[in-house]
Structure 1
Amino acid sequence: MDITSANCIYMLSIPNLYPVAQRLQGFAADAAFATEEVDTAETVMGVDGQLSAGFTPYITAQTITLQPDSPSLTIFELWASTQKSTKSIYPGAATIQIPSISKKYTMVKGVLRRVSPMPTAAKILQPMTYRIEWQDADPAPI
């Protein structure tokens, strides 16, 4: 079984900035992108010991980690600076193909929530992280 992430393809578009999807490149070696676990339901236990539950909508938070010399940093820098200068939100969209597991993920209505304003300078420059919060992250086979 192949579980490599080396051949993943991450395409990001921001309609008012990059209407044509851009391929992200220059990921960090130990952390290209990651999503956090989500709670899909709210549960409560009644005093009589009966469990009640309900579906709750949720945000899918994703962290993208790029090397400090990644050509894709420009995309995130422009996205963040445009939001700052216009005091407006520019939602993005993405598709992520992971050939090793034959899956594609469609990311819908993403908001750039957190950015690394500059790399940390240590022995060498350290990777930079960006957090996008997505309305939906839907899997499909490829």
Structure 2
Amino acid sequence: MTSLTAANAVITLTVPLVFPTPIQLQGFAADNIYDMDNVDQVETAMGVDGILSGGFVFNPTNQTFVLQADSPSIAFFETWAATQRQAKDVYTANGSTTLVSVGRSYISTKGFLVSMPPMPAAGKILQPRRFAIRWESVQSVPN
């Protein structure tokens, strides 16, 4: 029987000008590794005569990684953000996600770090942090 576990997912990111060697993300939140927004594939317009027209459009893909407050991968995102701030420029990332349980891999290209909390929220314990990347492209490839 095939398992749908996400526990064996392997996610690597590179930021060529900061981290040229792929870094494997680790220390995910207990209930979430990442979220992906739906991506609109078509733009539509309804004419005044009631006829619907549509056409293909490119849209970015938003992905949010969720890391425990003590994840060793937090340093990757903080360094990426600090380096951009220091340079007053942006550095794009590339990524690879392998989902072993379903035998699929996904290649992510030209990603921008668009948002992150400056530090973890604090409750009874420190809370997970969410790091959002906006990708130009995410493509599925067979393993």
TM category, shorter: over 0.9
In structure 2, the residue matched to 1:36 is 37
Map of 1:1-142 to 2, 5 A cutoff? 1-142=2-143
Q: What is the SS of the residue equivalent to 1:77?
A: helix
- Gap regions ≥5 residues in structure 1: none
Partners of 1:36 and 1:56 in 2: CA distance: 16
- Gap regions ≥5 residues in structure 2: none
How high is the TM-score relative to the length of structure 1?
A: 0.98
Shift of 1:85: 1.2
Shift of 1:102: 0.5
Shift of 1:47: 2.0
Partners of 2:42 and 2:28 in 1: CA distance: 33
Partners of 1:103 and 1:52 in 2: CA distance: 34
Shift of 1:51: 1.3
Partners of 1:70 and 1:50 in 2: CA distance: 52
Partners of 1:114 and 1:47 in 2: CA distance: 40
Aligned residues: 142
Shift of 1:48: 2.1
Q: Runs of at least 4 residues of structure 1 off by over 6 A?
A: none
Q: What is the SS of the residue equivalent to 1:5?
A: coil
The alignment yields a C-alpha RMSD, in angstroms, of 0.7
Shift of 1:128: 0.4
The amino acid that maps onto 1:104 is S
Deviations 1:55-76 (A, max 9, x none): 1110100000000110000000
Q: What is the SS of the residue equivalent to 2:14?
A: strand
Shift of 1:50: 1.5
